[in-house]
Structure 1
Amino acid sequence: MPGLDRKLTLYGLTMIAVGSCIGSGIFVTPYEVAAAVPHQGIILLVWILGGLIALTGALTFAELGGMFPTAGGVYVFLREAYGPFAGFLYGWTILLVINTGALAALGIALAEYLSFFYAFSASAKIGIAIGVIAGLTLFNLVGVSASQWLSNVFTGLKLLAIAGLIGLGFWFYDAQQVTFDPFTTHNLPDNILSASLLALVGVLWSFGGWHHASYLAGEAVEPQRTVPRAMVLGALIVTLTYVLVNIGYMLLLPVEAIAQTTRVAGDAAAVVLPAGGQIMTVAIAISIFGTIGIYTMSAPRIYFAMARDKVFFPQLAKVHPRFHTPAAAMLVQAAWAVLLLLFWGTFSDLITYVTFMDIAFMALAGGSIFYFRRKQPERDRVYRCWGYPLVPGIFVFISTAFVLNTLYQRPVQALAGLFMLGLGMAAFRFFRHK
């Protein structure tokens, strides 16, 4: 029976961690952050907070990834700590909510940016999104080496484009046109804490993805070492990139302008370059395209691991005899992402629906480190979480606060996610009985 190939290097896994985060978020969600907290300093603090959450999570998951270097990542952490039921619910939610919802949102974002060149209808945008998701799924079926090449190329291109945008901000900053003063006391929101937690929806959506490296541990070279390093390096690179690019935005545009545009990168570049909008639109489309490529490849390893554990459809455990990829799992994911596209259809609803459930499970998985330290103290740990127990404690606390705030502020999308979770409970009983 064919198995998965171990061909992913540290560089390849790091590019996957970075590319999974940097998709559409940093180009689309800054307007939501600026609308929630219209203050330069608070905006930067919210993005830094998002980076700290990602970094504390990466440090926590680095220890877990070194302990369980097999395909499935977070699913395996939850299964080993809390039992097969918790692991199944995560995989179920990844398939029906988190990863497929992210694919649908990314597909819509890509179509929106392409509409900069041509006024596509709403149905045409959905058609574009479906075509891209299907096409990249088929490309990733060819093998993990092809997937690694795609990730390396497109992540490199998006980092170059962002570096160019940051350079424009610092080089062409004009204090007479835009005032950059993050320490001013003007425009502070009445309830800074609540507004900041609401702004974190877009921020955490933008940071989501660094843990995708753990899904691919079954195909990594020396996974005990490469997976933890890739997640930490990915979180650090993305945090630095996001803080700098937000400064770049604010050096070219006032906060009021950022809060009113869903094309902040294009508008910022257009301030100093006649064709800046078109250039950034192409760069962003490339960025989103690359992230869709990673998402269509990474999460199916979870469904593959679930099926191998006999808690999901057994067909999803099959590996393609020629390409050595979990082909059935990848095709099922693509099909459900298409259904979500047809059902939700709006970017804002999709990212709230996705981020709420994603962070809830991230908090639960992060908490598993305390269980393993207490129950398995003698287990070999290639990497030990720096700052334990404070670092994982911060990650779990802030993530939990975010989940509770989202349930209060955006109940419709949050309850939709919880409904899918309830269906997962019934599905688990069905598969266990079978």
Structure 2
Amino acid sequence: MSETKFKPVLGLWDATMIVAGSMIGSGIFIVSADIVRNVGSAGWLIAVWLITGFMTITAAVSYGELSGMFPKAGGQYVYLKEAYNPLVGFLYGWSFFAVIQTGTIAAVGVAFSKFTAYLVPGVSEDIVLLNLGFITISPAQLLSIATIILLTYINTRGVEGGKLIQTTLTATKLLSLFGLIIFGLVMMRSDVWNANWADAWKLQSLSREGSIGDYTTIAAFGAIAAAMVGSIFSSDAWNNVTFIAGEIKNPQKNIGLSLFLGTLIVTIVYVTANIMYTSVLPLQEIASAEKDRVAVSASHAIFGNIGTYIIAIMIMISTFGCNNGLILSGARVYYTMAKDGLFFKRAGHLNKFAVPQQALWVQCILASLWCLSGKYGDLLDMVSFVVVLFYMLTIVAIFILRKQRPDAVRPYKAFGYPFLPLIYITMGLSFCTLLIIYKPQYTWPGLIITLIGIPIYYFALQQKKAPNA
């Protein structure tokens, strides 16, 4: 007979490893190249990561209050539904399923394959196995799908297997990253460091070829917003732990604490990793790194030829662990939506291992299709805007719920309320506004995907009301 309830088997350490492990994928190893091309200086490179880190930690400690109020599966979907209405919650859940989570799983899966190709050239993304005209299929895409299917299967066998993978691989990649950072700082090249930091706060564009461009004052803000698309992508998924509240011991306390600890650890890793990059690589080499693989260039500078293989193994561990966390947690959102009659009905059932097996497999199918499409990278750039928009709406929900439900039990109150949440909302609005003005191609596709959810929502309501539905 199937279990009917989630098993609370994850402690504070496990929850913190899910936060950190879901955040650290391939981004920190790659996106700094694009950031440097946008901002053109070492100081602004670090500033972009600090701004993103501050926003992430601020949002995380604000979410602690909501997680304490609603300690159940679904996380952000539940918070938005409770504070606004079911439609707003559904639009988040729909965007999450359509692109945000499944697209991220695809991107991380393909990153795993790309770096596996350093060790096994036969799985390279440059090899074409099948060309159908409208789509080409490479061994890298097939390997990424295989890893997604494997991790999905493991997670259908109960949360304990996923927990073991998550804690082991996240601890391994944190230790590896700290090791790389320490080695890099010890091997610092003083001439490179001095050159990079000589004019650290001059904001300019820097092309792969080395040409430099100046910004007007207003365009400079647009450049910072464009640079932050990469750092926000690298810092996203910290909220995944809220989706699995039903499986966390003492969720009222441990979710908020794990959000703070996980985001703080990752922010420290990200900022120090970028300081390390500027200590071993000239800015021009960061901007022009082959396929944007800054970490490969840095590791090569530190360790010589073997450095490439060291980074390849680190990224394989990092991306495999990251996808495990994304797959484990994402399915709980669809489970909760199905319970509300707003997703495939079968996704709302738990199997004998007390996990939403059908929701896991539906997520697996769509993520695999994104792998085949090859368009996940473009989509993730396009949904950064929507992701931040939903984060802002969720933080505004704290103010709404304080007014609507002043007597509700709040085991944990948002740190720095109302100032820190207001700072996040202001920064988020600035980011979104600048993207609308300077990078509209990063905004409208994500909005269109989100708005497609409106007719789907009303169709789902009709189906729910229909007899024998």
For residues 355-394 of structure 1, give each alpha carbon's deviation from its aligned partner in whole angstroms, at most 9, with x where no partner exists.
2221111111111001011111111111111211111111
For residues 254-305 of structure 1, give each alpha carbon's deviation from its aligned partner in whole angstroms, at most 9, with x where no partner exists.
1111111222112111112131111111111110111011111101101101
Residues 18 and 412 (structure 1), Cα distance of their counterparts in 2 relative to 1, 3 Å cut: same
Alpha carbons 1:101, 1:353 under 8 Å: kept: no
Bigger mean CA deviation after superposition, 112-121 or 17-26: 112-121
For structure 1, the 5+ residue unaligned runs are: none
Alpha carbons 1:19, 1:294 under 8 Å: kept: yes
Tell me the residue number matched to 1:217: 245
> Displacement of 1:185 after TM fit?
5.3
Alpha carbons 2:193, 2:279 under 8 Å: kept: yes
Tell me the residue number matched to 2:316: 285
Alpha carbons 1:111, 1:126 under 8 Å: kept: yes
Tell me the residue number matched to 1:426: 455
Q: 1:84 aligns with which of 83, 86, 110?
A: 86
Alpha carbons 2:26, 2:234 under 8 Å: kept: yes
Distance, in Å, in 2 between the alignment partners of 1:49 and 1:343 is: 33
Distance, in Å, in 1 between the alignment partners of 2:420 and 2:45 is: 23
Q: 2:220 aligns with which of 173, 189, 192?
A: 192
In structure 1, the residue corresponding to 2:413 is in which secondary structure? coil
Residues 180 and 167 (structure 1), Cα distance of their counterparts in 2 relative to 1, 3 Å cut: farther
Matched to 2:332, the amino acid is R
Q: 2:178 aligns with which of 163, 173, 181?
A: 163
Within 5 Å, give how 1:67-106 maps onto structure 2.
67-106=69-108
Q: TM-score, normalised by structure 2?
A: 0.89
Alignment pair present for 1:148 and 2:148: no
Tell me the residue number matched to 1:383: 412
In structure 2, the residue corresponding to 1:299 is in which secondary structure? helix
Alignment pair present for 1:323 and 2:353: yes
Alignment pair present for 1:365 and 2:367: no
Alpha carbons 1:94, 1:100 under 8 Å: kept: yes
Alpha carbons 2:196, 2:283 under 8 Å: kept: no
Matched to 2:143, the amino acid is I
For structure 2, the 5+ residue unaligned runs are: 129-137, 205-214, 464-469
Distance, in Å, in 1 between the alignment partners of 2:149 and 2:17 is: 22
Alpha carbons 1:180, 1:250 under 8 Å: kept: no
Alignment pair present for 1:124 and 2:139: yes
Tell me the residue number matched to 1:276: 307
Alpha carbons 2:43, 2:200 under 8 Å: kept: no
Distance, in Å, in 2 between the alignment partners of 1:182 and 1:378 is: 52
Alpha carbons 2:91, 2:451 under 8 Å: kept: no
Distance, in Å, in 2 between the alignment partners of 1:110 and 1:340 is: 15
Distance, in Å, in 1 between the alignment partners of 2:446 and 2:24 is: 24
Matched to 2:262, the amino acid is G
In structure 1, the residue corresponding to 2:25 is in which secondary structure? coil
Q: 1:308 aligns with which of 307, 318, 339?
A: 339
Tell me the residue number matched to 1:265: 295
> Displacement of 1:52 after TM fit?
0.4
Q: 2:422 aligns with which of 393, 397, 401?
A: 393
Matched to 2:329, the amino acid is S
Bigger mean CA deviation after superposition, 131-140 or 10-19: 131-140
In structure 1, the residue corresponding to 2:194 is in which secondary structure? coil
Q: TM-score, normalised by structure 1?
A: 0.96
Residues 213 and 329 (structure 1), Cα distance of their counterparts in 2 relative to 1, 3 Å cut: same
Higher radius of gyration, 1 or 2: 2
Report sequence identity in percent: 33
Q: 1:114 aligns with which of 113, 116, 119?
A: 116
Residues 85 and 390 (structure 1), Cα distance of their counterparts in 2 relative to 1, 3 Å cut: same
Distance, in Å, in 1 between the alignment partners of 2:198 and 2:11 is: 43
Distance, in Å, in 2 between the alignment partners of 1:186 and 1:404 is: 24
Bigger mean CA deviation after superposition, 127-136 or 173-182: 173-182
Alpha carbons 1:91, 1:306 under 8 Å: kept: yes
Matched to 2:223, the amino acid is A
Alpha carbons 1:97, 1:353 under 8 Å: kept: no
Matched to 1:289, the amino acid is F
Matched to 2:339, the amino acid is R
> Displacement of 1:346 after TM fit?
5.7
For residues 137-162 of structure 1, give each alpha carbon's deviation from its aligned partner in whole angstroms, at most 9, with x where no partner exists.
11111111111111101101111111
Distance, in Å, in 2 between the alignment partners of 1:186 and 1:323 is: 54
Tell me the residue number matched to 2:54: 52
In structure 1, the residue corresponding to 2:385 is in which secondary structure? helix
The alignment yields a C-alpha RMSD, in angstroms, of: 1.6
Alpha carbons 1:180, 1:251 under 8 Å: kept: no
Matched to 1:317, the amino acid is G
Tell me the residue number matched to 1:9: 11
Alpha carbons 1:126, 1:345 under 8 Å: kept: no
Distance, in Å, in 2 between the alignment partners of 1:186 and 1:245 is: 19
